[in-house]
Amino acid sequence: MESNLKDEVDVEPYYDHPRGFTLYQGNSLELLEDLPDERFDMIFADPPYFLSNDGVTCENGEMVSVNKGRWDRSEGIEANHTFNERWLDAAQDLLKPNASLWVSGTQHIIYSLGFALQTLDYKILNDIAWFKVNPPPNLSCRYFTHGTETLIWAAKNHDAKHTFNYEKMKEMNGGKQMKNLWNIMSPRKAEKKHGKHPTQKPMKLLNRIVLAASDPGDLILDPFCGSSTTGLAAVKNGRRYIGIDQSEEYLDLSIKRFEDLNEELDSQPELEMDQTGT
């Protein structure tokens, strides 16, 4: 399943596979404004949280720097908000009339994202509290330990008839309505065997999002794709995927992860269209 956008985009793909997995390298804002309007059925975005402030955190029992790269450095509250408004505005144009967008964040950017979504007349559908179950301890012992991230799910506008696979979510939740509190552990070691991205999301989280808000054959965009967990979940569940990232290192990591999945699907085709969300 190809993405079918190559003839409409000025930039050559960094990687393109006929199973429907396409990557572009470049500035997300510029590429978002280059993509054709109303072509995506769902967008998942994990934008910079602007946390790289020379602080420290705990990882595997050791004190490590929180710095992730220049892309994660804050240029001030107003500049950060302007960035969020700009990419969300571009993303809105790319969504089909009944499509929806998911965006993740912590306290550092989630309020900016929520305000920008409202200003741009998205329709906020849910806020999801992702409880990480096993978060790292805080080293200062002057705050409650941060154990959650927030995901905002929003339709393109107030007229959109968004996709929600209610029965699938109910089935995955033991026959009961699924609540907006999701207990999902951070990525396991097996998900990082080719390397890791500093803000990598667990497959279980993206599987659930893809199954909840898209249908087989849909085209999903991730404008800050990192190691492309969104893309793996999309392809595994029969969707098509376009990811954008500036970093050649993380795009190469994405390719390694995809090629592992591709080999697995070739050898065990029954795994494709996996609807378990596990």
Structural domains in the chain? Answer: 6-271 (3.40.50.150)
Which pLDDT value is given to residue 135? Answer: 83
Q: Is the dihedral of CA 86, 92, 94, 100 positive or negative?
A: positive
**CA-wise closest residue to 94 among 47, 29, 158, 152:** 29
Higher pLDDT, 11 or 168: 168
Which pLDDT value is given to residue 58? Answer: 47
End-to-end, the C-alpha distance of the chain in Å comes to: 23
Q: What angle do CA 156, 160, 166 make, to 5 degrees?
A: 100
Number of Cβ within a 10 Å radius of residue 245 = 26
Higher pLDDT, 56 or 197: 197
pLDDT in tens, 22-58: 999 999 999 998 899 999 999 999 999 776 554 544 4
Task: Report pTM.
Answer: 0.89
- Answer whether 25's CB lies under 8 Å from 224's CB: no
CA–CA dist 103, 42 (Å, integer): 11
Residue 73: band (very low, low, confident or very high) from pLDDT cuts 50, 70, 90: low
- Answer whether 223's CB lies under 8 Å from 245's CB: no
180-198 mean pLDDT? 89
Q: 3-class SS at 277?
A: coil
Q: If 0-12 CB within 10 Å is exposed, 13-18 middle and 19+ buried, where does residue 152 land?
A: buried
Query: Of the ranges 20-34, 114-128, 138-152, which one carries the lowest mean pLDDT score?
Result: 138-152
Instruction: Judge whether residue 253 has pLDDT over 60.
Output: yes
Instruction: Judge whether residue 67 has pLDDT over 90.
Output: no
64-80 mean pLDDT? 65
Residue 198: band (very low, low, confident or very high) from pLDDT cuts 50, 70, 90: confident
Task: Region of 175 please: left (phi>0), alpha (psi -120 to 50) or beta.
Answer: left
pLDDT in tens, 166-187: 999 999 999 999 999 999 999 8
Residue 59: band (very low, low, confident or very high) from pLDDT cuts 50, 70, 90: low
Residue 126: band (very low, low, confident or very high) from pLDDT cuts 50, 70, 90: very high
Q: Tell me the pLDDT of the chain averaged across its residues.
A: 89
DSSP structure string for 165-191: -HHHHHHHTTTS---SEEE-PPPPGGG
105-109 mean pLDDT? 92
